[in-house]
Amino acid sequence: MVMESNFKDAKILIVEDEPQINRLIELVLQSAGYYKIKKAYDGKEALELIYNNKPDLILLDVMIPEIDGFSLCKMIKEDNNLNSVQIIMLTARKMEEDILQGFENGAIDYIAKPFSNKILLARIKAHLENSYTNLNTKIYKDILLDDKRKSVSINGNPIELTKFEYIILETFMSNIGIVFSRSQLLSYLRGDDSFEVSERAVDVQIVNLRRKLRSFGANIETVRGMGYKLKEYK
């Protein structure tokens, strides 16, 4: 079982337009030990927060201004960089078609208002615990990286990587679309070790990694004057 302290570190976004309910949910979460909490009061504000700091779980009200909860849920789940986010819908609407619409748009759960604080916390814990058990595995197109076994495969075929190549790939797959400078990648390569690694060595590692990934290596893009990134895909 995943240690409870792990998922208490989860980033949770509350999207609720009623300030009193929003604050109440925040207090309930804080009382249970969750501390990485952000709040939004409409769909546009929520989307901006999600893009700037991807949450692990969203408590999403259906009836919110700007972008309604169903539409926001669908937008998140259709984005390859965000579709791992867990979404629990919160709403006073109890019609079966509304519940089905929430699930069809990608929600993992649906809690009707008014809700029990204990039930809300139990659902959050269950979903976070489930998501944390899958954290060791990362997937990008047909590339699968198993961080527990420190292994990489393409279409099920193992790929032998050096320690540094693995670190770079794991960094990219954990941050798809994010540009990393040579100095940033250098800091990851050095880690806690005291030996020196030059920025030129980063370029060599990237070249070797691209070659070993074969056709998939082209997805590691050079951003001129800035560094490297793993290409976003739809």
pLDDT band of 4, cuts 50, 70, 90: very low
Q: How far is Cα 47 from Cα 52, in angstroms, rounded to an integer?
A: 9
Q: How far is Cα 140 from Cα 134, in angstroms, rounded to an integer?
A: 15
Our CA angle for 194, 196, 202, nearest 5°, is 125
Do 186 and 89 share a structural domain?
no
User: What is the number of domains present in the chain?
Assistant: 2
Give the lowest-confidence range in 3-17, 25-39, 48-62, 173-187.
3-17
More confident residue, 128 or 2: 128
Do 89 and 171 share a structural domain?
no
The pTM of the full predicted model, rounded to 2 decimals, is 0.58
Q: How far is Cα 124 from Cα 55, in angstroms, rounded to an integer?
A: 13
Do 119 and 155 share a structural domain?
no
Do 67 and 126 share a structural domain?
yes
Q: How far is Cα 212 from Cα 208, in angstroms, rounded to an integer?
A: 6
Q: Which of 95, 112, 132 is the last residue before a domain boundary?
A: 132
Do 156 and 41 share a structural domain?
no
Do 181 and 102 share a structural domain?
no
| Statement: residue 192 has pLDDT above 50 | no
Q: How far is Cα 55 from Cα 99, in angstroms, rounded to an integer?
A: 23
Do 113 and 45 share a structural domain?
yes
Do 224 and 116 share a structural domain?
no
Give the lowest-confidence range in 23-27, 171-175, 188-192.
188-192
Beta strands 143-146 and 151-154 are: antiparallel
The structure tokens listed for 201 are 């060595």
Please state, rounded to an integer, the average pLDDT across all residues of the chain: 86
Contact between 75 and 46 under an 8 Å Cβ cutoff? The reply is no
pLDDT band of 204, cuts 50, 70, 90: very high
Do 115 and 10 share a structural domain?
yes
Domain that holds residue 208: 137-230
Amino acid identity for residue 200 in this structure: R
pLDDT band of 16, cuts 50, 70, 90: very high
Contact between 220 and 210 under an 8 Å Cβ cutoff? The reply is yes
Count other Cβ atoms within 10 Å, centred on residue 20.
8
Do 158 and 81 share a structural domain?
no
Task: Give the residue-averaged pLDDT of 109-124.
Answer: 89
Do 118 and 57 share a structural domain?
yes
Q: Domain of 127: which CATH number?
A: 3.40.50.2300
